[in-house]
Structure 1
Amino acid sequence: MAAHGGSSAYARSVLRIIDARTGEPVDAAPARRGLTRIEAHTEGFDVTALRLLLTADLLVRALELGGTPVWALLDEERQQAELRAGAAALGIRPFEDGRDAASGLGEAQVLHVVREEGGRPDGVRVAVAPVHSEAPPEEADPAALRLALLSRRRSVPVPLDAAVLAEAHDTLVRWRRAVAAWARQPSRPIPDEVRAELRTAWEDDLDVPGVLGVLRWVETAPDLPDGARFETYAYADRLLGLDLTHDLGAPT
């Protein structure tokens, strides 16, 4: 695998995000590792709102992996119960109620996660493109839905239909079975170039499809020990939240 980022992933260990107001990248973490506040502005409940909350969840995970403390808030008055239930089903960690947090905690950076054509709060805006589906599919496996929503960069609309969900489900099943099989082999460290590829992807404006691409390469890469494949998938899943170790210990 060509390590596009190479060792620079270690030198630039700060998540940079495109500010929708200016089109320019900004550091999501303060220079001195102070608190970052993430506010999700959902504007009602639909699949795009869930994608927005998922983007906020990824920001939280990526910043915490880099050692930055994060305060995550949901700024929404409508359909909070539906939003929180839908988020929980997708494995999105809970948000505090933004209506009760106006005073702040002295945070050094504030990121507003908004719909692409939504409200325009002051501060850095992280815009999320729509999902082309009227409502969350009731029959969808939540983990497969999460993977389907992760499969495109957040600036690109997601067409969500039965075929997309089926592909995500099949990928998830294959990866979970592979991770369970690899776990039975001796552990091996993640190769430096693979770790660098992962970090370079997610620190570059949350390029989650880039992270998934690294996992696809690792899945079949020649001469890579199975123990290293396992550690790579477990490490990436700290960001992805797909429960890739779900089948560990299951009968073969």
Structure 2
Amino acid sequence: MLRIIDARTGAPVEAAPARRGLTRIVAHASGFDASGLRVLLVADLLVRALEMGGTPVWALLTGDREQAELRAGAESLGIRPFEDSRDLGAGLGEAQAVHVVGVNGGTPDAVRIAVAPVDPAVPVAPALDGDPAVWRLALLGSGRSQPLRLDAEALETARHTLARWRGAVADWARRPSRPVPEQVRGRLRDAWEDDLDVPAVLRVLEWVETRPDLPDGARFETYAYADRLLGLDLARDVGGAS
């Protein structure tokens, strides 16, 4: 069961109290910058985690500034499209709404997740012209409540990690398939169901990458499973030239 820290109270709450009830995720982005895209990315992770748990979700983007730019940036980062209608959830029997906001934002009397700002040391637009998954991984590397400095060094670290993982996944895909070990699946789910702790998910992948007793086919399935949440296109190079 996914539990998140409600920024209003500091207490954990169930992200979807009715597992099969429709949950609305509302992203409040103040503008097209790194901080705004981080808010959208956290909303996307929440959508993915709930869907993997069997909860129907719809996502809405609010704000009055640079909506077209934000939607285009979100598409580049592999973020699921946001709905246009604000009334859809009520018509379909919405069970709960969760608002994803910057640290100074807020909606009275609503469950909300606070996202710390990003120091935009690297301009947004040029970065998204390359491999946007590098930006996505760099934004995922720190807990959402921690301010993040996104500079050339951070992006280079993310680029190196992403290239290594994609190469490993392509190599593991050539081995006989094996299921995700239950211990590993449990560690992944425990991580993201504990307040959407994505850095902990990444640490599990690092552990899987080097654990000598895991078959390569199980490593492949583990990375493919985790990528349903992470959205890093880790299997992009599968089937390519050796």
Per the normalisation by structure 2, the TM-score is: 0.95
Instruction: Please point out which of 150, 163, 175 is paired with 2:165.
Output: 175
Q: Kindly indicate whether the alpha-carbon contact (under 8 Å) linking 1:112 and 1:121 is maintained by their aligned counterparts in 2.
A: no
- RMSD value, Cα: 1.5
Q: CA deviation at 1:43?
A: 1.6
After alignment, is 69-78 or 240-249 more displaced?
Answer: 69-78
1:164 equivalenced with 2:147 (yes/no): no
Given the alignment, which residue of 180, 196, 204 partners 1:206? 196
Question: Which position in structure 1 is the counterpart of 2:30?
Answer: 43
Partner of 2:61: 74
Tell me whether 1:147 sits opposite 2:137 in the alignment: yes
The separation in 1 between residues aligned to 2:183 and 2:199, in whole angstroms, is 18
- Pick 1 or 2: higher relative contact order, CA cutoff 8 A, min separation 6: 1
**1:209-233 Cα shifts (integer Å, max 9, x gaps):** 0000000000010111000000000
Q: How far apart are residue 77 of structure 1 and its match?
A: 2.1
Check conservation: 2:106, 2:112, Cα contact below 8 A: no
- 2:208 aligns with 218
Secondary structure of the structure 1 residue equivalent to 2:112: strand
Is the CA contact 1:60–1:70 (under 8 Å) kept in the aligned structure 2? yes
Stretches (4+) displaced over 4 A:
98-104
Q: Does structure 1 residue 60 correspond to structure 2 residue 56?
A: no
The residue type equivalent to 2:2 in the other structure is L
Q: 3-state SS of the aligned residue for 1:156?
A: coil
Q: Is the 8 A contact 2:58 2:89 kept in 1?
A: no
For residues 22 and 61 of structure 2, the distance between their equivalents in structure 1, rounded to whole angstroms, comes to 17
Identity %: 69
| Counterpart Cα distance in 2 of 1:160 and 1:100 | 36
Shift of 1:76: 1.6
Question: C-alpha offsets along residues 8-44 of structure 1, whole Å, 9 cap, x if unaligned?
Answer: xxxxxx1000000000000001234211110011122
Alignment gaps of 5+ in structure 1: 1-13
1:29 aligns to what SS in structure 2? coil
Q: Is residue 2:232 matched to residue 1:232?
A: no
- Judged with a 3 Å threshold, the aligned counterparts in structure 2 of structure 1 residues 98 and 45 are, in CA distance, closer, same or farther, namely farther
The CA deviation string for residues 118-151 of structure 1, in whole angstroms up to 9 with x for no partner, is: 2334310110000111641514531100000000
Q: Which residue of 2 aligns with 1:192?
A: 182
The runs of 5 or more residues in structure 2 that have no matched partner are none
Give, as a single letter, the amino acid of the residue that structure 1 aligns with 2:201.
Answer: V
Distance 1:201 1:21 in 2: 22
Alpha-carbon distance between aligned partners in 2 of 1:89 and 1:198, rounded to the nearest angstrom: 26
Q: 1:173 offset after TM fit, Å? A: 0.4
The answer on whether the counterparts of 1:76 and 1:98 sit within 8 Å (CA) in structure 2 is: no
Offset at 1:97? 2.4
1:174, distance to aligned residue in structure 2 (A): 0.4
Aligned residue in 1 for 2:99: 112
